[in-house]
A and B are shown apart, each in its own frame.
Chain A
Amino acid sequence: MKTTQSVGGYLLSSLMSCLVYSWGIGLALSLTMMALVFMSTNVHAEMNDDMALDKIHSLAEVKSGQLVFRTEDGHYLASPQLNTEVAIEINGLLARVTVSQTFTNPSAQWQEGLYVFPLPETAAVDHLRMKVGERIIEGDIKAKKQAREIYQQAKNEGKQASIVEQQRPNMFTTSVANIPPKDSITVVIEYQQMVSQDGNEFSLRFPMAITPRYIPGTPIANRHEISHFNGSGWAVNTDQVADASHITPPVLVTESATSNQVTLSILLAAGFDLAQVNSAYHQVEEELVNDSTRKIRLMDNVPANRDFELVWQASDQQAPQAALFKQHKNGEDYVMLMLTPPNKLNIESISRELIFIIDTSGSMDGTSIKQAKAALQYGLSQLRPQDSFNIIRFSDDVASLFRQAQLASRVNLHTAYDYVAGLRADGGTEMAPALKLALHAEQYTEGLRQVVFLTDGSVGNEDELFTIIEQDLGKSRLFTVGIGSAPNSHFMQRAAQFGRGSHSYIGSEDEVRQKMQTLFNKLSHPVLTDLKLELEDSSGVEIWPKTVADLYLGEPLLLTLKAATLADEIVINGVYGNQPWQKKVMLQGGGQSQAVSVLWARRKISALMDEYRRSNSDDSKAEIVEIALKHHLVSKFTSLVAVDKTPVRPVAEKLNTQAIAVNPPKGNTLTQFPQTATAATLQFIIGLILFLSGLILRWRQE
């Protein structure tokens, strides 16, 4: 018994020492390795671009805005180039925009091109045409995946094809397959858009600013491929691209006047006498057609690096107070109604009540609470003497500065500033009682009531809170201000939606002033609130968005609706300042426009996308696909695809498949997963077995 114990102890201790020993060897080796590294003078070897070059002998020779990509064998080739032609027709409040993108392939090989470009967030992209030589091929709307497959198949079969896909609501891509050597393909995209109106001023923006550059990939099989991360000579360019786009193309991009040219022309038929037409950032040529119509052209072709904005004003009292457009399509009526609220409202005389809720829970500690306090202080500074206010703070408990809202007198404000200065972040996040306290006090208020809620939203009981907001809101409006580096944006946005207010987000202390200024401008100029629509004798009515948002100074009321049978009139009820407001609009007459159904569908898709974002449900996705297919619209789930029936590229000839850096470089595709286990365990086990046998052998001999 004693012997076994001692043997066991011996074994164990030998084992331990052996393990320690083996780790010791490893450690010693590694330390030596480390020492070598530290002593070595040229630690950080650079990669040399010593590849054989074909057409372009070195990147240093590229002087103009030539885009190049590297091929598998390390050669450089000139990549396709892109020219964009934009034609905008503005008719009253509607704009139809045609964007023609011509992809030219200067190389001697077949190429595929991909272009990432921005469009306005509200753009309803409904047409795609591909021009190949003299022929024009119309694009079809398909579910996104199906469209991809159609494109992919056409590409593989050597057919010319193009596809327009939505990446973000304001970011699209065009891919064009099989651009013949030394030839070009033109892709024409059309979209419908509303003109934005602010009082007497109208504007339209054509975005060009987010790196709308042609982006070729780099099918390189060697290890130099990786140099687009931080390789020598490429760093500056990739840095530039990194700033501009979320896609970092591993290409040399030099800014110059010759790359990605844009020509732009506008026919502006305002529908009223024009007082002034301005282009904010570009030089334009203006041709007067008549009092209400202008032809506008960009003075020079410009590189696509700055948003184009056209602003026009109506001459006195000429701006339309109301506009009605209708469309009858597939047995249904579509209506678009624009109304300008009376803007003679003297807001100065209207008092309002502002309730600030500030989150002082532990999660707000540090910079968050500083930002929140700065934002609150800014809010206090914006109060007018006739306004009343209160501050509610919460963590584990809830407390308010005053029992009920007080006038913003000097004394009260002074007390408030002191109170804010003394706030500390500590404890839990009991949000519900704070919200209830803020919303229930409504009964004591006359006039406008705005609740500004400063929080990082780190709560788990969102649904309970939404219910409180929905039920207790009354005539209050809830504006959420997200604080800190990672606020719960889902909660913020949705709370603001239930609260019929808006959401803003402060990311750093520098932003406090600017963001709060924007918010308070809005808060101090509400015009029409509590808008509701009445449509008598209508059936099958669908209005999107479902709730009409409050209108602030300068904003027109814009409604799009669909009805199976349309009533003769629509009644709009609301609160104007603090008076009830009503407007009846006759729905007979009005202008006819093909754009109405498309705009209605686009707004419905936006609303459904909000729903989809919240629920992630397949139902809302299916609904989006259905509506987008019906109205021929590009969406997150649908794409436009055009395929030429005749194959042009002999399948034996290689297509330089290149797109964003996403594409696996040919010859370097993953054919199987790497080997990902070491022999360490096996070695340990065999080692131990041998060790034990060795020991036993020795022990038996003694």
Chain B
Amino acid sequence: MKRRSGHYLSLLLLSISIGLLSSGGYIHAKAQLAQWLIASAWSQSKVNNKQAKPWPWADTWPIARLEVPEYNIDQYVLAGSTGESLAFGPGYVFASAAPTEQGNTIIAAHRDTHFEFLQELQKGDVITLHNAMGRQRDYSVQDMTIVDKQDVSWLDNQAYSHQLTLVTCYPFNAIQVGGRLRYVVRAVSLEDISA
């Protein structure tokens, strides 16, 4: 009897573990694969000049392209920074300036998927952002700070320069989800620096 229940318990444990592992894997797979779908929606939206959804039931659409050649980063930024869009790609924060435009553009993504590379970024690295109309802007990383998630007051949304702020959770390899700290990379348009 004891033997039997032990057998069932081990089976249960194994099946739960497989479930958890595949769920974790799915998060990563989704993050990777969705970018392909988004890429095709992006080229569609560029051709038609319309918002193209990457899949029919999607609640978001690509609105910008983020490139950091130095770290082989080429990602499509989705509209909105809700959990839904962040699962598939970096999310553009609606309350910020439009990508490549004047003001402060804020983009957030998960620290363990798309924005894992933020920990590598160094001051002076160049980030390129393209908007849906093909406009491109190069930003140079100015500083990296760690802030509380509610400390948004310093964000200069009224900025007259062109700024880009990338946000992700901190610390990067924390196991727990829902920490209070955020890692914030601020970059300023090269044009503004030289102007």
Using a CB–CB cutoff of 8 Å, the interface residues on chain A facing chain B are 18-19, 21-23, 25-27, 29-31, 33-34, 36-37, 40, 42-47, 148, 165, 167-168, 173, 223, 225-232, 235, 238-239, 242, 246-248, 250, 489-490, 613, 659-665, 668-691, 693-695, 697-698, 700-701
Contact = CB atoms under 8 A, between A and B. Distances in A.
B51 A701 contact: no
Interface string B7-26: 10111111011111111111
B14 A695 contact: yes
Interface in B64-104: 79-83, 86-87, 91, 93-99, 101-104
Nearest to A686: B20
A30 B33 contact: yes
A698 B14 CA distance: 10
8 contacts: A47-B51, A226-B51, A229-B132, A490-B194, A672-B152, A681-B112, A684-B20, A687-B24
Contacts of A677: 110-112, 168-169, 174, 177-179
Contact of B97 (A18, A661, A668, A669): A661
Nearest to B160: A167
Contacts, number: 285
A684 B177 contact: no
Contact of A676 (B28, B50, B86): B86
B96 A678 contact: no
Nearest to A220: B94
Contacts of B194: 489-490, 613
Query: Residue among A230, A674, A680 with the most chain B CB within 10 A?
Result: A674
A305 to B, nearest CB: 21
B25 to A, nearest CB: 3
A681 B24 contact: yes
Nearest to A235: B49
A641 to B, nearest CB: 15
A242 B135 contact: yes
B1 to A, nearest CB: 12
Given A674-B108, A675-B169, A687-B18, 6 more contacts: A148-B158, A247-B102, A671-B152, A674-B81, A681-B112, A694-B13
A27 B31 CA distance: 11
B106 interface: yes
B53 A43 contact: yes
A673 to B, nearest CB: 5
Given A690-B13, A691-B13, A697-B6, A26 B182 contact: no
B169 A235 contact: no
A229 B168 contact: no
A31 B26 CA distance: 12
A43 B56 contact: yes
A700 B45 CA distance: 59
B115 interface: yes
A659 B91 CA distance: 24
A226 B79 contact: yes
A235 B50 contact: yes
Contacts of B20: 683-684, 686-687, 690
Across the A-B interface, give the 4 residue pairs with the lowest CB-CB distance, nearest first.
Answer: A26-B29, A662-B103, A687-B20, A694-B13
A671 B153 CA distance: 8
A474 to B, nearest CB: 30
A22 B53 contact: no
B131 to A, nearest CB: 6
Contacts of A26: 22, 25-30, 33
Interface string B145-184: 0010110100101111000000111000111111100101
A44 B83 contact: no
Contacts of B101: 246-248, 660-662
B175 to A, nearest CB: 5
Contact of A248 (B63, B98, B111): B98
